[in-house]
Amino acid sequence: MIKAKIRAQHTDTNLRSYEQTCKSFSWSDVKKMFTWHGTGKINIVHEAIDRWADDPARQGRTALIFEKAGEVRTYSYLELKKISCQWANLLLKYGFKTGDRLFIFLPSCPEAYFVMLACARLGVLFCPLFSTLSFDELEDRLENAEPRGILTHPDLSEDLPCEAMKGVEHIFLTQGPLPGLFPGEVLLQELSDKMPAQFSPRWFPGNTPLYLLYTSGSTGPPKGVVHAHHDMLGHLVTARFVLDLREESILWTDCEPAWVTGTVYGAFGPWLCGAASVVQGDPFSASNWYRTLEKHQVSVWYTTPGTIRRLIEAGEDLAGRYDFSHLRHISAVGDAMAPELIYWIKKNLKLSPHDTWWMTETGMICLANFPCMDIKPGSMGKPVPGIEAAVIDEKGKPLPDLTMGELALKLGWPSMMTDIWQDKKRYQEYFSPEGWFLTGDMVIKDEDGYFYHQGRIDDLIKAGVKLIGPYEIERALYRHPAVGEAAVISRSAKPGESFLKAFITTNKGFSPSARLNREIRAFVKANLSSDIALREIAFLEEIPKTRSGKLLRRVLRARELGLPVGDPLKMK
């Protein structure tokens, strides 16, 4: 277990004392931070946009900064309120009502955020989709959610499966000309500008559905996760405690709304804090990412370990050409943050990235390395105040420190999913009779209360009589200078006997060979244990991952068994 700690770089945070806050924290107290605590009128768009837009002292503050192809478009809170009201009136004109579903099938653009707010204002469930979804994936989602409409671009509309479009009444297109493929096509250019700029938000019970997202394909078939308006409590707390947002903050969450991080912390989280959100619409390049941080004077950056690895590949010289003086906090999510990533970012950006953990199903960050706490490299951190986390065995009983088990969260936090769309059985499978939410992630908790990710339950490896998480072995592989990326799975030699197989990519300057294969296997044994049965190593050009950067060990296992896996690059 890694014992090294890194001291947090600043102390002026929304969470000054973790232990003291946990003792006094109450979700009931958080409710008092919202206007609906006094009025009883609940709608997330009122708390995230309208309350600031209606305040003369705050309405001119920047809410959204969107950049693409060199063009920067900036929107104040007052402008977002006006535009979202116009879009809500547009949806109402075309017959949308509370409970209807709208798919957002778009490349990165401001319109995606306009319609998210409009849907929330009206009570329509919005469902952002990756623009790279395949024909079959779109068909599955259309048949499952049965949306009333789809907001898309002409270039993407040709990808829509005709057979699954029978229940879709309207195809809204952000640009023209109309492709003429489907009935009900509506060109939105200039149409929304003609709509009235007033639309009072509809008031709902807190558990009224807000958005629908389909989960990662790394743990099984995608499922539609439903979240509600009362998620805003968790959004606000974590935006302040974990991302350290204030009204003057400029946050860049460098992912799109089709991934839950982009919906929660690219939109609602910062806006509930009255902060600004940056959206970069151009594809990744190291120079573009550094320039975005510098140009928009980003103060808080929420990124992924995968992105950091790509920055490392671009070299240290490039990072030194940019000014990061406005950047005061970095957080990351999506995969375990290896220590070498922390040390590289600290050296070159002068800040240590703080790892976080959560799921689409949890609706908010649940464990984190907080700005006010020491970082333990390799750790997921500690539970957010208001979250009770434990390591449990297969019987639901808490395990002692330094014992591997399943990460479980005690029910009761407000941002937890409210349903799996049209699949109550799958929804119930997340919960144990003892009142735990079962994450499916294997972890270890140390004596200081920090949690360490060890992989998914179906990624556990049996070596002799011990269960080993693949992450520890992958970390050992990463320490070898030839290894660029690594993923480890178990293979069965015969009943009751298993061994490990590693899949790796090589760094520049190294070529796959039998000699390198033997050298890496010997390196792992020397650095971990001679009992580690790393029998095989396969060299790959690329290791399959989800769009959020999580290793798809399930795909590797299926390939080894000769089973179909589909296209891993299409998995969320």
Give pLDDT < 50 ranges for the chain.
1-3, 11, 217-219, 568-572
Same domain, 360 and 492: no
Answer yes or no: do 181 and 276 share one domain: yes
CATH number at residue 345: 3.40.50.12780
Based on the fold, state whether residues 67 and 128 are members of the same structural domain. Answer: yes
Go through the chain and tell me how many residues it has.
Answer: 572
- DSSP letter at 274? T
* Joined tokens for residue 541: 């050009």
pLDDT at position 566: 54
Is 500 within the bounds of a domain?
Answer: yes
Reported as a single tens digit per residue, the pLDDT across 494-529 is: 655 667 899 999 999 999 999 999 999 999 888 876
Asked whether residue 404 is assigned to any structural domain, the reply reads yes
Q: For residue 4, is it within any domain?
A: no
Residue 120: strand, helix, or coil: helix
Both 441 and 492 in one domain: the answer is no
Structurally, the chain folds into a number of domains equal to 2
H or E element in which residue 553 lies? helix 553-561
Q: Which two tokens stand for residue 526?
A: 């020397």
Listed in sequence order, the residues at least 6 apart from 32 whose beta carbon sits closer than 8 Å to its beta carbon are none
Does one domain contain both 486 and 355? Answer: no
Task: Tell whether 341 and 477 lie within a shared domain.
Answer: no
> What is the reported pLDDT for 473?
86
Whether residue 26 lies inside any domain: the answer is no
Neighbouring residues of 397: CB distance < 8 A, sequence distance ≥ 6: none
Residue 1 confidence (pLDDT): 43
Q: Are residues 298 and 401 in the same domain?
A: yes
State how far the Cα of 108 lies from the Cα of 277, in Å rounded to an integer: 14
Q: How far apart are CA 340 and CA 352, in angstroms?
A: 11
Please indicate, yes or no, if residue 282 is contained in any of the structural domains: yes
Question: Is there a domain that residue 5 lies in?
Answer: no
Whether 300 contacts 337, CB under 8 Å: no
401 and 492, same structural domain? no
Q: Which of 528, 532, 554 is nearest to 543 (CA)?
A: 554
Q: Give yes or no for a contact between 121 and 199, defined as CB atoms under 8 angstroms apart.
A: yes
pLDDT given at position 156? 94
* Residues 203, 159 within the same domain: yes
Q: Counting Cβ atoms within 10 Å, is residue 3 exposed (0-12), middle (13-18) or buried (19+)?
A: exposed
282 and 375 together in one domain: yes
Domain end, chosen from 417, 445, 473, is at 445
What's the confidence (pLDDT) of residue 462?
61
Please indicate, yes or no, if residue 25 is contained in any of the structural domains. Answer: no
Domain limits for position 243: 32-36+38-445
Residues 6+ apart with CB under 8 A from 417: 225, 226, 227, 360, 361, 362, 363, 427
- Of 391, 417, 445, the residue at which a domain comes to its end is 445
Q: Give the end of a domain, one of 387, 413, 445.
A: 445
250-253, strands of its sheet edge to edge: 71-76, 62-68, 276-280, 250-253, 300-303, 329-332, 354-357, 367-368, 382-383
CATH number at residue 555: 3.30.300.30
Token code pair at residue 146? 């049965």
pLDDT at 467: 64
Main-chain phi, psi angles of 546, to 5 degrees: -75, 170
Whole-model pTM: value is 0.87
The answer as to whether 69 is a domain residue is: yes
Beta carbons of 430 and 361 less than 8 angstroms apart? yes
Shared domain for 192 and 247, answered yes or no, is yes
Same domain for 111 and 247?
A: yes
